[in-house]
Amino acid sequence: LYTAPDSCEGRCGEPFSEEDECHCDPECGTRHSCCEDHERHCGPHGFSSSRDSITDRELLELSEQLYGADHNKARPGDIALNPQHLAGPDETGDKQDRSPQPLYKYVNEELFSKPTYASFIKLLDNYQRATGREEEVTAEELREQEHFLQEVMRTELMKILFVFLQGKNRYSSEQEFVADLKEMWFGLYSRGDGERDSSGFEHVFSGEVKKGKVSGFHNWIRFYLLEKQGAVNYFSHNFNGPWDTYPDVLGLQFSWDGFYKEVGSAFIGCSPEFEFGLYSLCFLARPGRACHLSLGGHRLSVQTYPWTKS
């Protein structure tokens, strides 16, 4: 249902991009740069029609639609940030706390009572952050996963995403889409020696510790809650939008119980369904590549990484 970056499945006719491992555009044959399965999918008798590929223009248009449909995002008065020190390129790796105050001065916690926020927050304590330690998933945690998926699928944002993907013949039913989201985000895989110690959700939203460093951890709600508990210490930022509305984008340095994140990045103020939907779109449309988007007229990219080792 989503393709490896070395396949033409669902990519026939897409424009040439130097970022791609191999290519599926009509001229790839003359450049000798086609993916191995180009003929099988994109030849005269291929079964992956070009009309089902997702173009760069469609990604820009759809991401703007999703941005406009994020009705649960924070309003300007809901969050007050205190970014403090702007770190230069030579400062991000030196582990110096140059910001004595917390990053968040204020968050309107009424946001967290909204159904998608409340069901999202319940998932955050389901993981052991250390890689190499097998995750044990309880029946209650499985119910929490199901509940979160039900809540996000009730939103206009996720319905827009599903209709688009269904139109691209990625899914025949919403049930099939939800089943794939569950596997994509909550399916366990191994980062170490065979232990099923990681998942997409744990890495992106909750955060992991690998070889003494923070890995993933891109969610603003998770950061705020841990900072409030004293488990996260904000050091500095190396990039700040700042856009005039939420979600904003922040690049930041921080310590999590003594483990360091040299360059983290996060959308600030978006709803859980916005991030969940946007990252799912990028993973399906541009696996292993940069996914170029537009939010409120601002261009940005999300880099995806398919896990192929186990």
Supply the residues annotated as catalytic: 203, 218, 261
Give yes or no for a contact between 129 and 135, defined as CB atoms under 8 angstroms apart: no
Angstrom distances, CA of residue 26 to CA of 5, 23, 32, 170: 17, 9, 11, 22
Q: Which residues pair with 253 in a beta bridge?
A: 236
CA-wise closest residue to 121 among 64, 192, 206: 206
Q: What gap in Å lies between CA 17 and CA 20, rounded to an integer?
A: 6
Angstrom distances, CA of residue 264 to CA of 184, 191, 199, 235, 249: 22, 20, 19, 11, 11
Q: What gap in Å lies between CA 285 and CA 304, rounded to an integer?
A: 10
Q: What gap in Å lies between CA 307 and CA 181, rounded to an integer?
A: 15
Six-digit token string for 138 = 């309880």
